[in-house]
Amino acid sequence: MNKLIAIFVVLIFGVVLLSPFVVNAIRGGMSKGVSKLDIVLPSSGKCIKDKEYMRANHMDLLKKERVKAVRDGVRTNDYSLKNCQTCHQKRDEFCDRCHHFVGVKPECFECHYYPTGKKECKGRE
Amino acid sequence: MLSTSYIFLAYFAIIIFVFGILCKVWKYAVIPNPLKIPLTPAPTNTIGVILRMVFEVAFFKSLFKSNKFTWLGGCAFHLALLVVLASHIRFFVSPVPEPIMLLQTFLQSISMFIGLLFIAPLVYLFIRRVWVDRTRFVSIFADYFVLILLFLIGLSGITMKYLIRPDLFAVKTFILGLISFSPEPIPTNPIFITHFTLILILLIYFPFSKLMHGCGIFFSPTRNQIDNPREKRLINPWDKRII
């Protein structure tokens, strides 16, 4: 009786612990080499803040900008999505790559248009 | 240097965690049950016992029957733990599967609530431990230690989400590197390092602590035994040679 339970417990435990390995093996997440951030960066120009800050905190800037525009009616162009687009023109080559990789789904693009670089129009994605 | 020591420590912690749990489960499995002691009213067939265990594990039924306030705290915390762990799956799989992405989209919208649901019950259970005389009397350091450890893990997690954000790309790269055995450098965000350190401490401590109740509950004889002592006689394992 107790041995059966032990097998059951170890099975659950094993499935939970091993599932990421299995999923990664099936879907080929490991083979691609994860160390490289696969985004297309503009060849020239400088971002409004340094790279490290932007990687971690860009959503703060966008949110502050949103609050300023929506609540206070102050529209500036410094930290807006539109200003991003001047250098990072295609969403699927910039924003989406990282967001898909870490599994974050920003709400920006549910309303805001940001060209994806794909030819056909699939609506919101 | 920091990366090397952390990668080493991480593998060390995982080995302790896995083998510690396996050893403990083995120990639970081979220990004999000399007596038939199901806590009545108990089910009289196997399906009944399975149902009883499901209710016990999923809803903490016996705790509900004994103390509603403790049950509320425990239930809230375990629910939050489940949700938090589910939302951490995205750091371990690449590419993130669609169902997990959908789950994540939902969890993102209620993330602050989940964070509170994680740490508030811990504070509540801590206060209960100090406040209620009987509970304080039977509490030892280990009881407080687990609560504090989990609280700090939750707090550092929330801090990482809302105040001092790490570069998530670096975090995921680091974790994928660990689980694919091709280690990458650890992200430099101090809060991430704190969070990660606390998790490693938890992993190392887990098999030796009362947190093993997650595995041990399945082996509790008062819950997992069928109430059929007359239909099927239980012979004490070390009496077999006499009978």
Q: B4-15 pLDDT, tens per residue?
A: 999 999 999 999
Residues of chain B above pLDDT 90, percent: 63
Per-residue model confidence (pLDDT) at position A83: 86
Residues of chain A above pLDDT 90, percent: 2
Amino acid at A109: F
Q: Is residue B159 part of a domain?
A: yes
Residues 6+ apart with CB under 8 A from B225: B33, B36, B37, B38, B42, B49
Per-residue model confidence (pLDDT) at position A7: 87
Per-residue model confidence (pLDDT) at position A121: 53
Find chain B residues with C-beta within 8 A of A55's C-beta: 167, 169-170
Residue B170: CB atoms within 10 A of its CB come to 22
pLDDT band at B74 (very low <50, low <70, confident <90, very high): very high
Of A2, A23, A105, the CB nearest to B97: A23
For chain A, the structural domain boundaries read 2-32, 35-125
**Any CB–CB contact under 8 A between A14 and chain B?**
no
Residue A6 to residue B97, Cβ atoms within 8 A: no
Chain A: closest CA distance from residue B133 (Å): 35
Residue A102 to residue B166, Cβ atoms within 8 A: no
Chain A: closest CA distance from residue B11 (Å): 14
CATH number for the domain that contains residue B213: 1.20.950.20
Q: Does residue B223 contact residue B62 with C-beta atoms inside 8 Å?
A: yes
Amino acid at A87: C
Residue of A nearest to B160 (CA): A56
Structural domain of B28: 7-226
pLDDT digits (tens, 9 = 90+) for B119-154: 999 999 999 999 999 999 999 999 999 999 999 999
Residues 6+ apart with CB under 8 A from A50: none
Per-residue model confidence (pLDDT) at position B43: 92
Rounded to an integer, the average pLDDT of B151-163 is: 93
Q: Does residue B154 contact residue B122 with C-beta atoms inside 8 Å?
A: yes
Instruction: Find tokens 């590197």 and name the residue.
Output: B177
Per-residue model confidence (pLDDT) at position B243: 67
Residues 6+ apart with CB under 8 A from B210: B142, B143, B146
- B214 token code pair: 């997650």
Based on the structure, what is the number of domains in chain B? Answer: 1
Find chain A residues with C-beta within 8 A of B91's C-beta: 102-103
Q: Is residue B91 part of a domain?
A: yes
Q: Is residue B58 part of a domain?
A: yes
Q: Which residue has the higher pLDDT, A35 or B149?
A: B149
How far, in Å, CA of A47 to CA of B50, rounded? 60
Q: What pTM was estimated for this model as a whole?
A: 0.89
**DSSP string of B174-186?**
HHHHHHTT---PP
Chain B: closest CA distance from residue A77 (Å): 24
- B176 token code pair: 């994928």
